[in-house]
Amino acid sequence: MMVNFADKSVLGLAADPIRHDLGLSATGFGLANSAFFLLFSLCGAMGGLLADRVRPRWLLLGMALLWSIAQMPMALGGGLAALVVSRIVLGAAEGPAFPVAQHSALAWFPDNRRNLPGALLSVGIALGVVLAAPSLTWLIQHHGWRSSFAAVAVAGVMWAAAWTVFGGDRSSQARAHSVIVESGNNEEGSSPAPSYRRILATRTWIGATIGYFSTYWMIALSLVWVPSYLHDGLGYSTTTAAGLVAGLWAINAITLLSQAGVTGWLLRRGVSSRWARGRVGGVSLLVSAFGCGALSQAARGPVTVLLLLVGFGLCGAMSTVAVTTVAELVPARRRGGALGLMNAAVTTGGLIAPVLTGYMVDTQGSAGYQHAVLLAAALLLLGGTACVTLIDPARDARLLTPSTVVVGR
């Protein structure tokens, strides 16, 4: 996930020189970024469903090699057409990464121990940007923006080589012995798994998906437009903006680990997941909504930095909450598909947010950034409310469990 999100961050970090060299307007640049998500959601769903049938170890390896290859056209001198095509291929390759990685990792742990490994995978997202922001910015400034594409391609190939040697897989064992991994109920292994249609109709899946959608909207803005917002909208230097981006993602990592600790502590003391996951995740989104709402009205200064860190840094906790909540709700035989379909729904935010923000900036100037942040606050408010009111895995798990039929003689 570190390599995955370093890949995603390149375009945002190199936004100004890319727009200058390729002659792109803000809307055109937003469209180029949205091209990344053209197949991202579809392939995310397909990859999740495939993970229920194919060993995730090989899926992850194939994806990493493909997304590394997709970076090379821009490293070797490609223009606008190559940029769009490479981003589409990159999105198709990276779409299934998060749900498949979570599906693979969570299979090794019982439900009340999944918060930390789930959070660590999400921390990889934050660390990818924390490390990429200063290092890739330095590369862009000293060796040109194309060197950053070459750097992330090499990192992907190196990861694939290491994964070939050290990567493990327990998903097949988890499916065969879901009785042990899930809840100790020896009836689960023999009972029919619920259909995806029934899973997607539960209030918990819907609430987690709405909350995660608002988080992914913020992730897309952070990757694509926050560097330009800090530089063009608030007047910070490129180096300072890169440092603030790294700080934002560092806060995100701390929040993820804190959420995992709080949620795990609550679950081990018998608190229901409705509170330990749904309420904790929902409150983090509501606090972020307040931060973004205030940020949209603030001028440059220390308070603005604090509001930026609150608005964009705290909401990331919902990515782990959503995954572990759905993993708790869904039996192992349907987990990959349920996570992939959720990922497909939420990542449509990445398709819409960059181009909509670019349009606002083109038509409204610097005020467009403020309105984009205000819109983000409204979405976070919606997501937090959905989490607090809809998520209840224990209730919905009972609805998915087949009724016991007693046949009398």
- In this prediction the pTM is 0.77
Q: Is residue 188 domain-resident?
A: no
> For residue 405, what are its two tokens?
């039929």
Q: For residues 341 and 28, is the Cβ–Cβ distance under 8 A?
A: no
Tell me if residue 209 falls in helix, strand or coil.
helix
Q: Is residue 190 domain-resident?
A: no
Q: Is residue 402 domain-resident?
A: no
> For residue 58, what are its two tokens?
């090989």
Residue 190 is given by DSSP the state: T
Q: What is the pLDDT of residues 327-374, one digit of tens each?
A: 999 988 888 889 889 988 998 998 899 889 999 999 999 899 999 999
Residue type, 232: D
> For residue 73, what are its two tokens?
């056209």
Q: What is the pLDDT of residues 132-176, one digit of tens each?
A: 888 999 999 999 999 999 999 999 999 999 999 998 887 544 444
Percent over 90 (pLDDT), the chain: 51
CATH number of residue 39's parent domain: 1.20.1250.20
pLDDT at 55: 87
> For residue 68, what are its two tokens?
């590394």
pLDDT at 406: 43
Q: Which of 282, 262, 308, 288 is nearest to 392 (CA)?
A: 282
Q: What is the pLDDT of residues 364-407, one digit of tens each?
A: 998 999 999 999 999 999 999 999 999 999 999 999 886 544 44
Q: Is residue 119 domain-resident?
A: yes
Q: Which of 376, 32, 89, 64 is nearest to 222 (CA)?
A: 376
Q: What is the pLDDT of residues 245-268, one digit of tens each?
A: 888 888 988 998 999 999 999 999
Q: Is residue 293 domain-resident?
A: yes
Q: Is residue 141 domain-resident?
A: yes
**Count of residues making up the chain:** 409
Region for residue 353 given its phi and psi (left: phi exceeds 0; alpha: psi -120 to 50; beta: otherwise) = alpha
Q: Which of 291, 274, 342, 323 is nearest to 1 (CA)?
A: 323
Q: Is residue 407 domain-resident?
A: no
pLDDT at 174: 46
Q: Is residue 342 domain-resident?
A: yes
Our count of domains for the chain comes to 1
| Rounded Cα gap, residues 37 and 221, in angstroms | 13
Domain of residue 281: give its range: 2-178+196-394
**Which of 96-105, 213-222, 298-307 tops mean pLDDT?**
213-222
The 3-state secondary structure of 253-281, one letter per residue: HHHHHHHHHHHHHHHHCCCCHHHHHHHHH
> For residue 268, what are its two tokens?
């081990």
| Rounded Cα gap, residues 140 and 20, in angstroms | 14
| Rounded Cα gap, residues 398 and 409, in angstroms | 28
